[in-house]
Structure 1
Amino acid sequence: MIDGWGRRKLEPLLMAIGARLANEGISANAVTIASLLVGLCAGAAVVVGWFWLAIALILLSRLGDGLDGAVAHLKGRTDLGGYLDIVLDFVFYGAIPLAFVIHDPAANAVSGAVLLFSFYVNGASFLAYATIAEKRRLMTLIRGEKSFFFTVGLAEAGETLIFFLLVCLLPAWFPILAYLFAALTLYTAVARIVLAARAFR
């Protein structure tokens, strides 16, 4: 929901940094992979309870997630780059809830499982929509240039980032916040299914 606003605000900065990376010969795929590795380190920090470090690493990882698109824009987009971007994003988004479950299984296991279930359903609705949209040759620039058809929703990357930061700031509140965010995520999936029912008749 806030991704469009955030992209407009951050795009000049991302393009400036992306230009410097591209001039140094760093590829978009290298930025994508590095961003995932930083995100996995954030998950490891959550596991051991170093939440302030996790916050810094999550923010750095998501900065990289924006920079790979800027580098790709300058150096040329590829199908492999688009594929890696979406797959490794899903790895990151699954790693942080899993890290909270491992950190405190007794408190977080059930709510973490519900949250991961909601991510799974939402991801399926997102990717299935993109697949059918590609088959029908539909296009959208609502979130800028993407390698696949991008449908918007209530719970997107920006909202997920805010959720991750909140649970790192308030780790004892993870179960309640996870249930709430799972509800928002499932609402997004249902809304996308309704949209598909209208668009793909």
Structure 2
Amino acid sequence: MLDGWMRRLIDPPLDRLGRALAGRGVTADTVTLAGLALGLLAAGLIALGEPALALIPLLGSRLADGLDGAVARATAKTDFGGFLDIVCDFLFYGAIPLGFVLMDPAANGAAGAFLLASFYFNGATFLGFAILAERRRMETRARGLKSLYFTGGLLEGTETIAFFVALCVWPGWFVPLAWAFGMLCFVTAVSRILLAKKVFPPE
């Protein structure tokens, strides 16, 4: 919901930094993998019971996630780069909840499983929509220039990062926050299905 507004805010400084990195020979794929490494480090710290400390690599990971696109725009976008980016994003989004489950399986297990199921469902609707949009040669730049067709929704990347930050700041609230966010993910996924039914009628 907030990604379009956030892109307008952060893209100009990211593009400047992306051009600087590209000028030094840094590739977009390298930035993507560095962001994944930071994200997995954050998940590991959470699993070890250090969610506050995990905030630093978590935010660094999301900075890299925005920066890889800026580097690609400064050099050359590739299909593999777009593929790698979305794969690493999905792994990151699954690893953070898993970290909280591993930190306290008895307390967080059920809510964490529900949250991961909602991410799985939401991700399936996102990718399925993107595939059909590509088949029909649809384009949008509402979320910036992307390798895949990005559909908006109640919950997007900005809301998810804010949610992860909240979990790290208030880990004792993981259970109610996970149930609430997971339900909103299901709402987002169902709304995308309804949108797909409208946008992709029988031919």
Cα offset, 1:125, TM superposition: 0.2
Cα offset, 1:162, TM superposition: 0.5
Structure 2: where are the runs of 5+ without partners?
none
1:100 is matched with which residue? 100
1:186 is matched with which residue? 186
Cα offset, 1:184, TM superposition: 0.9
Distance in 1 (alpha carbons) for counterparts of 2:137 and 2:106: 47
Cα offset, 1:5, TM superposition: 1.1
1:158 is matched with which residue? 158
More deviation in 182-191 or 49-58?
49-58
Distance in 2 (alpha carbons) for counterparts of 1:76 and 1:15: 13
What is the TM-score normalised by the length of structure 1? 0.99
Distance in 2 (alpha carbons) for counterparts of 1:138 and 1:16: 29
- Name the aligned partner's letter for residue 24 of structure 1: R
- Name the aligned partner's letter for residue 163 of structure 2: F
Distance in 2 (alpha carbons) for counterparts of 1:181 and 1:141: 26
Distance in 1 (alpha carbons) for counterparts of 2:99 and 2:151: 28
What is the TM-score normalised by the length of structure 2? 0.98
- Name the aligned partner's letter for residue 137 of structure 1: R
1:109 is matched with which residue? 109
2:62 is matched with which residue? 62
Q: Name the Cα RMSD after superposition.
A: 0.6
1:4 is matched with which residue? 4
2:25 is matched with which residue? 25
More deviation in 15-24 or 117-126?
15-24
In structure 2, the residue corresponding to 1:113 is in which secondary structure?
helix
Give the length in aligned residue pairs.
201
Cα offset, 1:171, TM superposition: 0.5
More deviation in 76-85 or 1-10?
1-10
Distance in 2 (alpha carbons) for counterparts of 1:60 and 1:147: 22
- Name the aligned partner's letter for residue 186 of structure 2: L
Give CA deviations for 1:48-69 in whole Å, capped at 9, x if unaligned: 1112221111110000000000
1:47 is matched with which residue? 47
Distance in 1 (alpha carbons) for counterparts of 2:13 and 2:70: 10
Distance in 2 (alpha carbons) for counterparts of 1:110 and 1:50: 21
Distance in 1 (alpha carbons) for counterparts of 2:68 and 2:144: 13
Give CA deviations for 1:145-172 in whole Å, capped at 9, x if unaligned: 1111110111110000010000111111
Give CA deviations for 1:91-132 in whole Å, capped at 9, x if unaligned: 000000000000000100000000000000000000000001
Runs of 4+ in 1 over 6 A off after TM superposition: none
Structure 1: where are the runs of 5+ without partners?
none
Give CA deviations for 1:66-99 in whole Å, capped at 9, x if unaligned: 0000000010100000000001000000000000
2:138 is matched with which residue? 138
